[in-house]
Structure 1
Amino acid sequence: MSEMPALPIAIIGYGKIARDQHVPAIEADPRFQLVATVDPNATLPGLPGFHDHEALLAGDTGVEAVAICTPPAIRHTVARAAIAAGLHVLLEKPPGLTVEAVAELEALAEAAGVTLFAAWHSREAAAVDSAREWLTDRPIDAVRVAWMEDIRVWHPGQEWILEPGGFGVFDPGINALSILTEILPVMPVLRSARLEVPRGRAAPIVASLALLSGDAPISVELDFLHEGEQRWDIEVDTPDGMLRLTRGGAALSIAGVPVAAAENREYPRLYTRFADLVAAGESDVDVSPLTLAADALAIGEQVDAEPFAFAR
C-alpha cells in the first residue's frame, strides 16, 4: 500500500505557542506539510502569510487542514469558516468559549465529513498515561493541584488573556483540569470557586476551586502571579500511597519513588493523533475540561484584586 501524501496544513494564529510548539511538531511529522500561516502581525519566512482566515480560504494554497491557535474569543468564528470550506480542524485549548459553541462545531464537522480535534496538549505529557493506568480502580482519598506560573514570563504583553473571553488564569489552569479529567477514575464535579479579578480587567488572575471526584475532595489553586520556581503539580492520595505528577505531567512518582517516563513530546503526540483521526475519518471533541472551567467562571465568587499591568 503506497504512503498517503502529506496533508497540507496552515496555522491560524501565529503567536508564541504556534512558533514554539506547533511549527516544530508539524515539520517533524511526515504526514503533514506546513503550507501557510495566518496572522495580522507575524509571518513565517519562506511560507505564504495571510492577514486573516478569509484571505487564506480564498487563496490558492491547497490547504486541507488548519490548526487554530488564535485567542479563544475568535476560535468559533474561524473554525466555522474552516469547516464550511471542507477543512480538517485542530483546535488549541480551550476549544471554545462555551460548551455549546464547541458542540455546534462538532455537529458541523460531522455534517461536513471533516475531522474536528479538540487538542488537550497536557494530556500528552510523558507521565499522564502511566498515572491514569495506576489510578484505574484505585480508591482516591484526596487530590491537590497547584498550577502556578508567572503571566509576564509565559504570556508577555498578551492583553487578550485578561479581556472578556480570555480565560485569565484558566488559560494555563485548564491544562491541569485536562489532566484531572483524564487520570481520575470518577469525573470531577465543581462545588465552588473563588476568582480574584484585577480591577479594570475581565478575567481572573488567581483562582481557587473545590471539586469532588466521587467522595474524594479536590482542591485546585491557580496563580498567574507566581514568581520564582514555576509549579505545575498534581498530588493524588490513595491507600497505596501518594501519586505525584510534576512538571505539568512530565514527571511521576508513586509513594515517593520516581517512575521512569519517556521523553516529553506533547505536541508531536497531538499531531500523531490528529493525523490518525483524519486517516480514520473520525473526530475527538472532549469538552470535560472546558465544562469545569466554564462552570467556575460562571458560578465562582468574584473578588477584587489589585490592578495588573504587564509593564512593572
Structure 2
Amino acid sequence: MTIAIAIVGYGKIAEDQHVPAILGNPAFRLAACVSRRRAGPPGVPAFASIADLRASGLKIDAVALCNTPVERPAAVFEALDAGWHVLMEKPPAATLSAVWQIVAAAEAAGRTLFAGWHCRFAPAVPAAKAMLAGRRIDSLLIDWREDVRKWHPGQQWIWEPGGFGVFDPGINGLSVLSEILPVDIAVAAARLETPANRQTPIAARLAFGGPGIPADAHGLFDWREPDDRWNIRIEFEGHDLLLTHGGSRLMVDGVEQPVPDEGEYPPLYRRFAVLVTQGGSEVDLRPLQLVADAFLLGERVTVAPFD
C-alpha cells in the first residue's frame, strides 16, 4: 500500500524537510500541497485550501500539517472529516485543550493521529535514552539558543498569541529532554523575557523539579544568540553525557559515540507509515505541557523592543 499524502502549509520546514523525507520513502506518494499561495514542488498539484483539495477528487490518504499551531485544529478536523490520517508538525496545537479535542476527534473517526516531535528522531537521541535508562541523574542543563532572524525570517505569527516565541524552537529541546530522561520532569519556576513590542517571549529560563530531578536542573532558551546552541548536558552516576546539534551528536565522558548518519524526518515518516499501517496513533503531550506550565508559572519581564 502506498500512502497518498498531502502537505498543508507549504513553508520552509515543508520544503526543506517534509518533501525530501516523503520523496525518499516508498511508503508515500506526495499527491498534493495546500497553501494560501498555492505553492508546492514542481509537478505536484497545489490548492489554496483543504476544501479545494477535497473538491478536486484527488485520492488522498493522509496529510502532514505544517501550518501554524493556531490554524492546526481546524485543519485536523477538516482532514478527519475527509477520512484522512494526520501527521502534525510540532507543536500539535497552541493549547492543550485543543489537542485533547483533536485526539477525541481522531479516535471517533478511527484515523491515525501522530504528533511528530521531529527532534526525538535525531540520530543520537535513542542512544542517549538507552544510556540514561534506570540511571541516577546528578545534574541537568538544557541550553537551546539560536538567532531568530536566521531561522524565522519574516514570520510574524511567532510573536503573536499562540505563536510560542522562543518556545517554538525551545519545545524541540523539551521534547528530547522528556524523551531521554528516565524520570518525569516538571517546571518548578520560570522567567520569561518579552520584548516591549511583542506578545511572546524572546528568552526564558526554566527551573526543573520532580522526584529524581537534581535541585539545580535548569534550561536556558534565547532567540538572540548568533551561534546556534542546541545542547543537553546530563551528569549521571559519575559520567558526563552531552547531546549536541539538536540531538545529532552524542559525547559521553568526552568521547563521541557512533550514531546513524541520518536526519530527523526520514525516521519520523517511517514511524508515521507504521502507525497508519497498524491503525495506531501517537500523541505525547509532555513537551507542550512543559511549555504551558512555563507560561502559567513564569515571571514576566519586559525587555527592549525587537524588530
TM-score (norm 2): 0.97
Match of 1:273 among 266, 271, 274: 271
Cα displacement (A) at 1:183: 0.5
Query: Counterpart of 2:223?
Result: 224
Report the CA distance between 1:58 and its aligned residue. 2.5
Give 1:21-60 correspondences, 5 Å limit.
21-41=17-37, 42-60=39-57
Q: Aligned match of 2:125 in 118, 121, 128?
A: 128
1:240 and 1:255 in contact (8 A); partners too: no
**What are the Cα deviations for residues 168-191 of structure 1, in whole angstroms up to 9, with x where unaligned?**
000000000001110001111110
The residue aligned with 1:236 is 234
Structure 1 residue corresponding to 2:199, chosen from 190, 197, 202: 202
Q: Partner letter of residue 10 of structure 1?
A: A
Q: CA deviation at 1:213?
A: 4.5
Do the aligned partners of 1:35 and 1:63 also contact (CA within 8 Å) in 2? Answer: yes
- Identify the match of residue 9 of structure 1 among 5, 8, 11: 5
The separation in 1 between residues aligned to 2:244 and 2:210, in whole angstroms, is 20
**CA offsets per residue over residues 50-92 of structure 1, 9 Å max, x none?**
1122222222111110000001111111111111211100000
Q: For 1:57 and 1:220, locate their aligned partners in 2 and report how far apart those are by CA, in whole Å.
A: 44
Q: Pick from 106, 115, 124: which aligns with 1:118? A: 115
Aligned length: 304
Query: How far, CA to CA, are the matches of 2:267 and 2:123 in structure 1?
Result: 10
Unpaired runs of 5+ residues, structure 1, are none
Question: Does structure 2 conserve the Cα–Cα contact (< 8 Å) formed by 1:57 and 1:82?
Answer: no
Q: 1:67-118, CA deviations, whole angstroms, 9 ceiling, x for partnerless residues? A: 0000111111111111121110000000011122111111111111100000
Structure 2 CA distance for aligned equivalents of residues 51 and 298 of structure 1:
36
In 2, Cα distance between equivalents of 1:301 and 1:59:
50
Query: What CA RMSD, in Å, does the superposition of the two structures yield over aligned residues?
Result: 1.0
Quote the Cα distance in structure 2 between the aligned partners of 1:290 and 1:75: 15
Q: What secondary structure sits across from 2:225 in the alignment?
A: coil
Structure 2: distance between partners of 1:262 and 1:65: 28
State the secondary structure of the residue aligned to 1:185: coil
Amino acid at match of 2:57: D
Q: For residue 199 of structure 2, what is the amino acid of its counterpart?
A: A
1:245 is aligned to 243
> What SS does structure 2 have at the residue aligned with 1:37?
strand
Q: Does 1:76 align with 2:73?
A: yes
Aligned partner letter, 1:22: H
* 1:35-58 deviation line (CA, Å, top 9, x unaligned): 111111233221111112222222
